[in-house]
Chain A
Amino acid sequence: MIEVKNLLVKKSVKTICTVSYFGVTAGQRVAVIGSNGSGKTTLLRVLAGLEKEFTGDFDCNVKSGRIGFVHQNPFMFKGSVQSNIGYGLKNQSETRESQVNTAKKMLKLFRIEKLANVDANSISGGERKRVAVARAIVMQPRLLLLDEPFAELDEDGIETMHRVLDAQSEMTIVLTSPTELVSQTLDQVFELS
């Protein structure tokens, strides 16, 4: 599904990510771990197609429209949490009713129903992360890329996130995480030095 060989990403003269080999097959759950500045986020951005300037071989057979990406510090659009979750569906010209119903289901799944009509820019970092992952899952991507999805989450949040991600059996999930938070349900752990 994804194969990366001899990846090198540089910003001016500084090397920010080097990967000799990274491969993921469909349906796998993969964690990319490594210390701060090891290039985890950059690798994820390359996979998402957000980082264009790199050298090496990169092969991904997922269409760009079927890739979901959640930033380490997700951006919330102006408006309510519910409208943020429905943003992608609105882009697909789904009816207002469908957007609201799907958003409500997602809010329930992530146990944040009470946030439905709250201003998305006033919620906490952990809640923001849950909303951003919900917003990405709504689009039913084939490949879901999550940059540190467990950061800023409390115990309940981590448990909910694991439960929701485990339920997405159709999706291939690549996430970055500090070593200590890596789940037992992962198929592969890839360490960046």
Chain B
Amino acid sequence: MQYIWQGLNEAASIVFRGDVEVLDAAFRSVWISCFAVFLAAATGLPLGSWLARRSFFGKGIVVQLFRAAMAFPTVFIGLVCYAMLSRQGPLGGLEVLYSPWAIVAGEFILAFPIIVSLSHGAIGSLDTRVSETARMLGANGFQRWTTYLSEARIGVTLAVLSAFARCVTELGIAMMVGGNLKGRTRTLSTATALETSQGEFAKGLAMGMILLFIALTITLAAGFLSRERKS
């Protein structure tokens, strides 16, 4: 118990001292996840909305596939990305393996089905009068879409926050395609794993604390929004 207590004390001191390595990994984790989630939202929100408003043969299967993809293990996504981006892979020519961009690509694959599925659920549950009223008041396709997003904004925000929480805390993709290179691809999760395995328990704990803080902040924000929806 004393070992854990001592580790926590040192971890707190590292966080408040502003350790360069820790801050570097934290900053990288955040920008990579933000960028991946931004790309996933830019593509996933239109697709989720389209799936919610259109009927076509096989739609149920497509929706189920996206739901299933939400549970993909990150190490599996990392493996697929590795196969695609490695020198022998079809995208090997891009030479992005072991760069932050490879992690962005992997996290995009992680976030995309989350945003598609959750936004599909949020927009699909909107009253049919939203679409009819907007249409009768002269809204074109794009204006109707922005109206859906506005009416389902809590659900849509929850979708984006959930995707971000999953991305910023994942380990498998960052480890497989990022390679945990110091100063280049080291993120909070990979650094936490590395430092702990090297016996630097306090440093690992410090990074874990930052990770936990980010995850808790997002969870609290999501919880606050859900409560607002209920009320």
Contacts and interface: CB of A to CB of B under 8 A. Distances in A.
Interface string B124-163: 0001011011111111100100010011010000000000
A78 to B, nearest CB: 6
A48 B131 CA distance: 13
A34 interface: no
Nearest to B126: A75
Interface stretch (A21-29, A66-74, A109-117, A149-157): A66-74
A135 B137 contact: yes
Contact of B151 (A50, A77, A92): A77
B139 A91 contact: yes
A136 interface: yes
A108 B101 CA distance: 57
A73 B129 CA distance: 9
A67 to B, nearest CB: 7
Contact of A65 (B127, B134, B138, B150): B138
Contacts of A77: 130, 133, 147, 150-151
Contacts of B135: 50
Nearest to A71: B129
B151 A69 contact: no
A57 to B, nearest CB: 23
A92 B136 contact: no
A136 B129 contact: no
A88 interface: yes
Nearest first, the 7 A-B pairs at minimum CB distance are A75-B129, A88-B137, A69-B136, A91-B138, A91-B139, A75-B133, A91-B143
Interface of A: 48, 50, 65, 67-69, 71, 73-75, 77-78, 87-88, 91-92, 135-136, 139
24 contacts: A50-B132, A50-B136, A68-B136, A71-B129, A73-B129, A74-B129, A75-B130, A75-B133, A77-B133, A77-B147, A77-B151, A78-B150, A78-B151, A87-B134, A88-B137, A88-B138, A91-B139, A91-B140, A91-B143, A92-B138, A135-B137, A136-B136, A136-B137, A139-B137
